[in-house]
């Protein structure tokens, strides 16, 4: 009997790959020529029509820094939370502000959820609804983002007005809310703090019980060169049978890793998705379409365009559109501030996708997009 040696080796390699749990397909791909720049820093994509509403606008006699905004609906209202500082980013006195709206257009006067101090700086990480309670997630830093005392906390409310005292979850710096996996568990990504910062970047947590800190399990996403990551700001695409982790980095394109169980991950690799080095948003529409919203520009820290890309299967991005790209200009100087449409988060409520973002790290706006346009 003659044996086809080449075929046999191919089969053996395939069996080894499958038995080792490795996933041959890349975590996420883009349609060929989806991103064309034509000499500009912004991709050549059509704009999607939406309505824009002001949530907070900085003034000369108010706190002038806003960032890390997030959304959730609860008891018939849409809630927004964000970091609010006096002048500089993540500096002394930074607090959490929260506002709500019954229609997504008119927003109530923001109120302080927690006030900051000299060594207690609050950084918004997101909102969830758990067991009929509204949950605010936030980082409290020890004076600097990577101080060893920096940690993730949560607080709960029955009405969005009265809140429990903060409950500590774990050390680390977090700015994104938990994402639910296909099996019902939750995953949340942040940053290691000192003394681990020199050798580690992404801190990934998995749990079945969000409000039980002792249930959170720490897992690892391997990466060949940790120096490519500054802030990873991990976020996730929870697909039907697996999960993709997307990571901010210095390469100009998002990195991605893949897992079938949320615990064992492939090594993070560079994707073809342009990114200016900023936080980004992920999610799924009622139609089953997955979305990614990021600053998909081809210049580092250029946040002049907020871009939404869509995928039918969460694996291949096939369509793209501009959410905001009008020129913006800061009105107040501040450390680490810069022009642009930044740090989006998005939430489906009714027949709309609401996208919240900071403008120049000074103001907070929401764009409401009819789902039928997506």
CATH number of the domain within which 95 lies? 2.120.10.10
Domain membership of residue 340 (yes or no) is: yes
Please count the structural domains in the chain: 1
pLDDT in tens, 90-120: 999 999 999 999 999 999 999 999 999 888 9
**Which DSSP category does 215 fall into?**
G
pLDDT bin (cut points 50, 70, 90) of residue 25 is confident
Res 119: pLDDT: 80
Do residues 132 and 159 make contact, with C-beta atoms less than 8 angstroms apart? no
Res 67: pLDDT: 98
Domain membership of residue 78 (yes or no) is: yes
Res 178: pLDDT: 98
Q: Is 29 helix (H, G, I), strand (E, B) or coil?
A: strand
Residue 279 has pLDDT above 90, yes or no: yes
Residue 7 has pLDDT above 80, yes or no: no
pLDDT in tens, 239-261: 999 999 999 999 999 999 999 99
Dist. CA 161–CA 46, nearest whole Å: 40
Residue 273 has pLDDT above 60, yes or no: yes
Residue 216 has pLDDT above 80, yes or no: yes
Domain membership of residue 38 (yes or no) is: no
Residue 366 has pLDDT above 60, yes or no: yes
Q: Pick the range with the lowest mean pLDDT from 117-121, 169-173, 267-271.
A: 117-121
Res 369: pLDDT: 98
Q: What is the mean pLDDT of residues 312-323?
A: 98
Domain membership of residue 34 (yes or no) is: no
Q: What number of CA atoms fall less than 13 Å from residue 56's CA on the CB side?
A: 32
Res 40: pLDDT: 96
Dist. CA 299–CA 268, nearest whole Å: 22
Domain membership of residue 150 (yes or no) is: yes
User: 235-238 and 217-219 as β-strands: parallel, antiparallel, unpaired?
Assistant: unpaired
Domain membership of residue 219 (yes or no) is: yes
Read off the pTM: 0.93
Domain membership of residue 349 (yes or no) is: yes
Res 198: pLDDT: 87
Q: Is 12 helix (H, G, I), strand (E, B) or coil?
A: helix
Do residues 274 and 297 make contact, with C-beta atoms less than 8 angstroms apart? yes
The number of residues making up the chain comes to 374
Res 23: pLDDT: 46
Dist. CA 340–CA 169, nearest whole Å: 33
Do residues 325 and 305 make contact, with C-beta atoms less than 8 angstroms apart? yes
CA 92 to chain centre: 24
Its domain, for residue 246, covers 48-373
Res 24: pLDDT: 59
Q: Which helix (H) or strand (E) holds 202?
A: strand 202-207
Torsion angles phi and psi, residue 236, rounded to 5: -135, 145
Domain membership of residue 185 (yes or no) is: yes
Dist. CA 102–CA 218, nearest whole Å: 38
Q: What is the mean pLDDT of residues 177-183?
A: 97
Strand ranges, E, within 267-361: 269-274, 281-284, 290-294, 306-311, 316-317, 319-324, 341-349, 352-359
């Amino acid at each position: 009997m003659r044996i086809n040696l080449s075929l046999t080796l191919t089969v053996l390699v395939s069996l080894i790959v499958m038995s080792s749990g490795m996933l041959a397909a890349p975590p996420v791909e883009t349609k060929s020529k989806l991103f064309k720049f034509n000499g500009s820093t912004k991709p050549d994509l059509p704009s999607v029509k939406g309505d824009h509403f002001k949530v907070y606008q900085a003034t000369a006699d108010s706190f002038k820094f806003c960032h890390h905004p997030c959304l959730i609906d609860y008891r018939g209202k849409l809630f927004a939370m964000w970091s609010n500082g006096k002048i500089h980013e993540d500096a002394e006195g930074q607090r959490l502000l929260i506002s709500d709206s019954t229609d997504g257009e008119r927003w109530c006067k923001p109120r302080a959820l927690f006030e900051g101090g000299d060594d207690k700086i609050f950084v918004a990480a997101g909102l969830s609804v758990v067991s009929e309670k509204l949950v605010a997630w936030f980082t409290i830093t020890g004076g600097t983002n990577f101080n060893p005392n920096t940690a993730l906390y949560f607080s709960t409310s029955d009405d969005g007005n009265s809140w429990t005292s903060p409950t500590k979850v774990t050390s680390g710096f977090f700015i994104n809310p938990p994402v639910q996996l296909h099996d019902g568990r939750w995953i949340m990504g942040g940053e290691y703090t000192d003394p681990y910062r020199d050798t580690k970047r992404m801190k990934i947590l998995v749990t079945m019980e969000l409000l039980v800190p002792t249930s959170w399990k720490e897992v690892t996403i391997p990466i060949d060169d940790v120096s490519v990551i500054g802030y990873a700001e991990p976020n996730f695409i929870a697909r039907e049978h697996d999960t993709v982790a997307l990571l901010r980095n210095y390469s100009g394109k998002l990195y991605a890793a893949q897992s079938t169980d949320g615990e064992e991950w492939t090594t993070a690799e560079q994707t073809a998705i342009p990114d200016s080095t900023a936080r980004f948003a992920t999610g799924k529409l009622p139609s089953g379409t997955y979305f990614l919203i990021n600053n998909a520009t081809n210049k580092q820290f250029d946040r002049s365009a907020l871009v939404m890309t869509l995928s039918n299967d969460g694996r291949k991005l096939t369509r793209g559109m501009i959410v905001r790209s009008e020129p913006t200009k800061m009105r107040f100087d501040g450390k680490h501030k810069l022009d642009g449409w930044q740090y989006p988060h998005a939430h489906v409520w009714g027949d709309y996708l609401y996208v919240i973002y900071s403008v120049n790290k000074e103001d907070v706006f929401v764009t409401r997009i009819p789902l039928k346009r997506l």
